[in-house]
Amino acid sequence: MTTPADTTRMPALPRDGAGIRRLGGVARDRARATLRSASDISLVVYALVLGGGLGLASADYATSGGYPFGGVTVGPWTAWPRAGAVGADPYTRAVNARRGEIPLGVGEGLLITAAQDDEGRVLDAGCTYSVAGVTPPARAWTLTVAGRGARPNGASSLREAFTSTEILREADGTFVITLAPQAQPGNWMPMPRPSGPVRLALRLYDTPVAASAGTLDRSALPAIRRNGCRT
Amino acid sequence: MTPRGRVLLATVCGLVIAGLVHIAAVLLIPRVSETDALARARTAESLDHAMRIHTLATGDTPPAAEAWLPVPDPAVAVGLCAYDLSEGPLRVAARTGPLMMSMAVHGRRGAFYAVTDQAALRGSLDLVVLTRRQFDEALANEDENEVSRDVRIVATDRQGFVVVRVIAELPSQRAAANEAVQAVSCTVDTGSEETKPGG
């Protein structure tokens, strides 16, 4: 629907567009002139700066934080069988070197981490989770919860890990660990921090699974269920 | 070549350089890092026992401040012995107890050997890390009437470290785990010791 006001304003638009086009043309001409006068040396410098900057930035991005490759995903869990092996990929070795990490060797044990629950939602410190089921065969295992980054200063958690010996089990040998901000009956693991994402780390010590992590079955690892969240 | 073509060529060259720089940086990080386990282990090379790098909290005693592992296992005490095989083979001797213990030998490229206390003979676990040449020498000098109980490991690199982990499955075992790590001895094997009777 056009009103008289619109029709009077219409002719003004092309004039504005032409102005912009003219300005753009001037800029393009100026850029073209700069390019034409750009010497070989400045182009070489441009290529080197671009290459150096992009290369270093991408290398830093790929090796900060967790291991980029080499994980075996089983449901919400990811096993890292090659993290400490001689055949570890260069990225894993760089990550270990930057963090000062001493990964478990293949004959020593296996690290399995989880950052999400069974439905794929990120584990949050404000929620209550139950980690239930069995673990792959191992002489001993520990289940640890940690937040990302450094621990808040001076805060010491009541408990940050369960070991296979400490845990209270059901009659059939399975267990349920309740991960919650508030105290719970049974195997209660307090949240390490008031809010933010958390990670679970299951470390199996002296386990035959380390050599064949690819065959790990979903039912061999505990399920992570979210029971509710603090609103 | 048109100016635009030259800029395009320069950009493509830049991207290729970026790829090369990326690969070189990732490969170089473990070599030049000063915060990795090997570099830190070498600062305590002269010790004749394992350097404790993760001491478990016992009772009111909090974990020691020297801990630098990013996300340590709170139930596992960790000790470290750095080796430099140009000084001679490294002998790591541990007494196994009721606690589960594992040892891993790391070179520059990762752990190439790991053993747990189940491999111990009569309560003792002796690892000797040596180079190929030192291994041949040890074989040649061996007394046939004497059975060696050492586990001999040929190292891939001259420099590396041995990690000792002792697992305290109950909080009451933590003090014992710390002591077990402290009790591991790491000594440079000299030739005279190698031929010593009963050694």
Averaged pLDDT of chain A = 82
Residue A13 in this model has a pLDDT that exceeds 50: no
Rg (CA), chain A: 28
| Fold adopted by B37-188 | Immunoglobulin-like (2.60.40)
Please report the residues numbered 159 through 198 in chain A whose beta carbons come closer than 8 angstroms to any beta carbon of chain B. Answer: 160-161, 163-166
Q: Is A32 on the interface with B (CB under 8 A)?
A: yes
State the total domains in chain A.
2
* A58–B69 C-beta distance less than 8 A: no
How close, in Å, is residue A86 to chain B by CA atoms? Answer: 4
Q: Chain B partners of A69 at a C-beta cutoff of 8 Å?
A: none
* B68–A164 C-beta distance less than 8 A: no
Please give the residue of chain A at the shortest CA–CA distance from B109: A86
The answer as to whether A98 is a domain residue is yes
The pLDDT-based confidence of A212 (bands split at 50, 70, 90) is confident
What average pLDDT does the segment A188-207 reach? Answer: 88
Q: Chain A partners of B115 at a C-beta cutoff of 8 Å?
A: 107
Q: Residues A57, A137: one domain?
A: no
Residue B199 in this model has a pLDDT that exceeds 50: no
What per-residue confidence (pLDDT) applies to B83? 85
Give the global pTM: 0.79
Q: Phi and psi (nearest 5°) for B81?
A: -125, 120
Q: Residues A123, A168: one domain?
A: yes
What per-residue confidence (pLDDT) applies to A156? 60
The answer as to whether A7 is a domain residue is no
Tell me the residue range of the domain where A20 lies: 16-64
* B71–A50 C-beta distance less than 8 A: no
Nearest in space to B55 (alpha carbons), one of B24, B70, B32, B76:
B76
The pLDDT-based confidence of A15 (bands split at 50, 70, 90) is low
Q: Phi and psi (nearest 5°) for A172?
A: -90, 10
Contact by Cβ (8 Å): A158, A190: yes
Of A36, A64, A92, which one is at a domain's C-terminal end? A64
The dihedral built from the CA positions of residue A206, A210, A211 and A216, taken in this order, carries a sign that is positive
> Would you tell me how many other CB atoms lie within 10 Å of the CB of residue B99?
20
Q: Residues A199, A187: one domain?
A: yes
How close, in Å, is residue A192 to chain B by CA atoms? Answer: 13
What average pLDDT does the segment B171-190 reach? Answer: 85
What average pLDDT does the segment B43-68 reach? Answer: 65
Per-residue pLDDT tens digits for B83-123: 888 888 888 888 888 889 999 998 888 888 888 888 877 88
Q: Residues A101, A164: one domain?
A: yes
- Residue B105 CA to its chain's centroid (Å): 5
Residue A151 in this model has a pLDDT that exceeds 70: no
Per-residue pLDDT tens digits for B120-171: 778 888 888 888 888 888 888 877 777 777 888 888 888 888 889 999 988 8
CATH number at A117 reads 2.60.120.600
Q: Residues A123, A21: one domain?
A: no
The answer as to whether A6 is a domain residue is no
What per-residue confidence (pLDDT) applies to B196? 44
Cα separations (Å) of B137 from A81, B144, B191, B199? 35, 14, 10, 16
Q: Chain B partners of A161 at a C-beta cutoff of 8 Å?
A: 73-75
The residue with greater pLDDT, A68 or B41, is A68
Averaged pLDDT of chain B = 81
* A50–B11 C-beta distance less than 8 A: yes
Q: Residues A27, A40: one domain?
A: yes
Per-residue pLDDT tens digits for A85-118: 887 888 988 988 888 888 888 888 899 999 999 9
User: Which token pair is B1?
Assistant: 């070549």
User: Which token pair is B26?
Assistant: 């990732």
Q: Is A101 on the interface with B (CB under 8 A)?
A: yes
Q: Residues A74, A129: one domain?
A: yes
Residue A208 in this model has a pLDDT that exceeds 50: yes
How close, in Å, is residue A37 to chain B by CA atoms? Answer: 9
